[in-house]
Structure 1
Amino acid sequence: MTLKIAVAQLNFVVGDMPGNAQKIIDAAKAAYAEGARLLLTPELSICAYIAEDLFLRPSFIAACDDAVKTVARETAGLKDMVIVVGHPIGKDQRGKSVSVPQRTNSASVIREGRVIENYAKRLLPNYQVFDERRYFTPGQGTCVFQVEGVSVGLLICEDAWFEEPAQLAKEAGAELLAVINASPFHIGKGYERETMMIERVKACGLPLVYAHLVGGQDEVVFEGHSFAVGADAQLAGRAPSFEEKLWFVDVQRAADAIELKADMAPARALDADLWDALVMGLRDYVRKNGFRTVALGLSGGIDSALVLAIAVDALGAQNVHAVMMPSPYTAGISLEDAREMARRMNVRYDEISILPEFESFKASLKPLFDGKPEDITEENIQARIRGVMLMALSNKHGHLILTTGNKSEYATGYCTLYGDMCGGFAPIKDV
């Protein structure tokens, strides 16, 4: 007996249920052509993660229901193919849709045009970026289904971090665990997940396939890095990080044991993960919000140089506009460095002196500042003039403005309100 599992490590868009459904349909057909008979999609793949208060809208839940039906209908001709699709479900106690539903973070198991099973996530995280108890109620049951003679137990993300859900799936007859996930990235998180899932396999004795989301959504990034762990608690394969991938796991029954085999992407340096997370986070924020180009103030310093390089990697040099706005206090070396950065990155670069505006502000405020020495007030006026300039470019050309402050600066308030804080996205705010 051999079963080929396909993991659809895909980048979905929050609220684009038709588009997300089509991605799943395309992945199912491609996986089927490669001989796969089980397709795993990530947690809440139909609506994408994190949808926040959209979950509270009945129309949103209804659109998710329609998208699941579309996936089922469009894959009905794939004989013996099973597709696991993550989506919210809203029902009352009688099973009827209602205006204020009792929602669950669920997954449907689809076979040949029909939903044959549903599973509701049992354990709801409510820490860090998670707020799932606001939107969902915990599930109570288990879900075990058959594919090509293999009994597969389904878990959703947090369920696999604790012993009980996996043990209940085993008691219900599961021989293999399929875990669908949307677990936000932080440095080293992928290897933390591997370690935790190895411990889960040791505890329950079942091999495990971990299907993970990839892509950026607002302030969080999902890095992919799907993987499989054999019943011997050894890593059996790993998908690449930070890229969409249809990744395959071969399941074989040897005597009474289930063995897994898959391609193994090499381990990565933590700095490489961090860079790719910053690039993906910026790229997806820009594109998913309908922008094409970005602009930023280039000071000649480290932070704006870093943001410039991230933007070029994320969007291409042709879509990045760098602006240097010197004042009477700008050092010559800052101008030289900014010009050199723009030359190396091959981006559009403009210099706009803010001296006339700065002098005009001082003249207007002189009667009110009379007798007081220049201090941080004048420094902040400069920053605010630059903010106005950048926002004007945004309004005129449609650029998304990138701010360049780092985590230490924002944490301590070492920045200027309405000045260098002006913008739509802060790529290094958590660095």
Structure 2
Amino acid sequence: MSMLIALGQINPVIGDLRRNADLMRRHIAEARDAGAQLVLFPELAISGYPPEDLLLRADFLDACRAETDALARDARDIVVAFGAPLHGPRDLHNSLVLAADGAVRAVYHKAELPHYGVFDEARYFGAGDGQALVRIGGHLVGLTVCADLWIADGPAAAAARAGAELILNASASTYHVGKNREREAMLFQRARDMVCPIAYCNLWGGQDELVFDGDSIVVDHRGTVIARAAQFRDELLLCSLDMRRVRAARLRDPRLRAVAPARPAGPSLESAPPTLAELPLPARDSGAPAVAGRIVTPLAPEEEMWQALVTGIADHARKNGRSHAVVGLGGGIDSAVVALLACDALGSDRVTCVVMPAADSDPVATAYAVHLAERLGCDLRTIGIDALYATYREALAGESLGDDEQTTLDRIRARIRSNLLMAISNREGHLHLSTGNKSELACGYSTLYGETFGGFAAIKDVPRTLVVRLAHWRQGQGRPHAPLPAELLADPNAGMNPSQWDSDGLPSFEEVDPILELYVEDDEDPDTIAARGHDPELVRRVIALVEAAEYKRRQTPPGIKISLRAFGRDRRMPITHRFTGERPDGARDPVGAAAAARLD
């Protein structure tokens, strides 16, 4: 006997409950028309994920419950599973709702609540008891939500030991580079260990700093992909499961019998494991052929990262009522990549590029900026800053600007440019995209209220070496032509005045970025990083710069997370602390807060 299931991969908007429910209704109708007997939607599909402190508002929870009941009334001639925040007898739960015949028929409460990295579920939800079985058309089906499946001996494994022949997993799994490969390796292993197919439905889209990639998948009992949705887009994925093959495989495999719980002592009236509900399987034409699932090839790494950034920008703009972005172009690789991302996300006719030269600006850099905007077909504006700069100089004529007067003056110019961009944003309602990269943000080599300022930080979590790598990839796509000046790709610093980074004698980003990755993402200590072959003096200098710049990072706009550990939600360090580490000989690190603080 086969079961035709559907996965509704959607992009919900937090708090837009009616829209989210209507989006599911359209997929339900499409799935029903295709003959599907069950359709699964992502975790917290009603509310959107993560709703954060909206979950502390009673009116929000009441509205979620009302929309849940309304959607359940439309679950006819098909079984519908979707996520929603719902109250149990005592606690609020991250729940998976099973609806059929126009009503809620079962509710499973997520048992494994992640409370690390970007996840704060234990702040809001109580853990469920792990009772996760329903019987649909004579087949035991295990219900799980996201992290329930990541735990090897968690609710999914318990359901399989109790006889589940299919595991449903509603998920809101955030994106970072390589996450889909980690996720699929886990799914393959779980399916093989449980001798049980898994239907995994993930949401997609951007939500503040987070991006979700979709990549929903169905894996059979051997750990083989039998259906996979595309990344970063809506999709209804259909797939037939041959339940007879699952039962036959289990008869031949003794592992589940070996780990099944022993029967209780004494007589028992139970003839079957306890279930949350028993539902008939909606009828399907007995002569209808099995549906082979569509298997989409995952994106290559550079395209996946680019699409994650594009999705983050597009959804941040759309979900916040913005349709147009403004980007300051300086002629360097960072601002060029942000402008390209904005055009791919919103369309070149919805991007304004602003060039703001000064009298001593390098004409080559200005020419690169103009060239890029013209090639992209963006609205291009040129605003000179000399008059404004002269006004600042005049106002400060009687003030001491310190030992490094030129650095102070350069920061004033950066802030003038930021003020102009914010003025355009305020006047015309555009989203101001800042252009700072992760490497400079990590080390404090960015101007507070200058290039770090804006409404959204597109490449905040992209190290400089990766910015260059993505620029080369995007240039090769040629949509509709190669937009970047060839000279800029050959030398990302071409046409730029020497930066403070160079003036302070820091080595290339190729040398610094690996140190930053080990320290920021992997939490390795200075000696361990140096033991990997990095210069010990450079390691300690970079770490001191990172720690001294925390107060600046706290004041930057939100930005898209694509790494395993981004600044902000992932990496939470105190601004005020005195742990800088010591050398093996007990000497203090020579580079401290004062060295970096001057780069405000």
Per the normalisation by structure 1, the TM-score is 0.94
Uncovered stretches (5+) of structure 1, i.e. residues with no partner:
94-101
Aligned pair 1:53/2:43, yes or no?
no
Q: 1:223 to 1:372 in 2, by over 3 A?
A: closer
Aligned pair 1:39/2:39, yes or no?
yes
Amino acid at match of 1:83: V
Amino acid at match of 2:204: V
Q: What residue in structure 2 maps to residue 266 of structure 1?
A: 297
Answer whether contact 2:213 2:231 (CA < 8 A) is retained: yes
Aligned pair 1:416/2:430, yes or no?
no
1:260 Cα deviation from its structure 2 partner? 9.4
Uncovered stretches (5+) of structure 2, i.e. residues with no partner:
250-289, 463-600
Answer whether contact 1:44 1:87 (CA < 8 A) is retained: yes
Spell out, residue by residue over 1:287-332, the C-alpha distance to the aligned partner (whole angstroms, 9 max, x if none): 0011111101000100000000000000001110000011123101
Q: What residue in structure 1 maps to residue 380 of structure 2?
A: 349
d(CA) in 2 for partners of 1:329, 1:92: 69
Aligned pair 1:88/2:77, yes or no?
no
Q: 1:395 aligns with which of 426, 451, 470?
A: 426
Amino acid at match of 2:337: L
Q: 2:364 aligns with which of 311, 333, 343?
A: 333
Alignment root-mean-square deviation, CA = 1.6
d(CA) in 2 for partners of 1:344, 1:224: 32
Q: 2:128 aligns with which of 139, 151, 158?
A: 139
**Which aligned pairs between 1:179-194 and structure 2 lie closer than 5 A?**
179-194=169-184
Q: 1:324 aligns with which of 355, 358, 363?
A: 355
d(CA) in 1 for partners of 2:143, 2:403: 70
Amino acid at match of 2:143: L
SS in 2 for 1:402: strand
Answer whether contact 1:3 1:148 (CA < 8 A) is retained: no
Answer whether contact 1:117 1:143 (CA < 8 A) is retained: no
Percent identity between the two aligned chains: 40
Aligned pair 1:114/2:103, yes or no?
yes
Spell out, residue by residue over 1:201-228, the C-alpha distance to the aligned partner (whole angstroms, 9 max, x if none): 1221111111111111000101010111
Q: What residue in structure 2 maps to residue 254 of structure 1?
A: 244
d(CA) in 1 for partners of 2:89, 2:35: 39
Q: 1:103 aligns with which of 69, 86, 92?
A: 92
Amino acid at match of 2:198: L
Q: What residue in structure 1 maps to residue 567 of structure 2?
A: none
Per the normalisation by structure 2, the TM-score is 0.68
1:430 Cα deviation from its structure 2 partner? 0.5
Answer whether contact 1:144 1:151 (CA < 8 A) is retained: yes
**Which aligned pairs between 1:128-207 and structure 2 lie closer than 5 A?**
128-162=117-151, 163-207=153-197
d(CA) in 2 for partners of 1:60, 1:89: 11
More strand by share: 1
Answer whether contact 1:10 1:213 (CA < 8 A) is retained: yes
Q: 1:404 aligns with which of 435, 446, 454?
A: 435
Aligned pair 1:74/2:74, yes or no?
yes
d(CA) in 1 for partners of 2:401, 2:446: 26
d(CA) in 2 for partners of 1:111, 1:72: 7
Aligned pair 1:383/2:414, yes or no?
yes
Pair member with larger Rg? 2
Name the count of aligned residue pairs: 420
Answer whether contact 1:207 1:260 (CA < 8 A) is retained: no
Q: Is 182-191 or 202-211 further displaced after alignment?
A: 202-211
Q: 1:388 to 1:396 in 2, by over 3 A?
A: same
Q: What residue in structure 2 maps to residue 96 of structure 1?
A: none
Amino acid at match of 2:29: K
Amino acid at match of 1:238: R
Answer whether contact 1:228 1:260 (CA < 8 A) is retained: no
1:61 Cα deviation from its structure 2 partner? 0.8
SS in 1 for 2:206: strand
1:50 Cα deviation from its structure 2 partner? 1.1
- Runs of 4+ residues over 4 Å off in structure 1: 258-261, 370-373
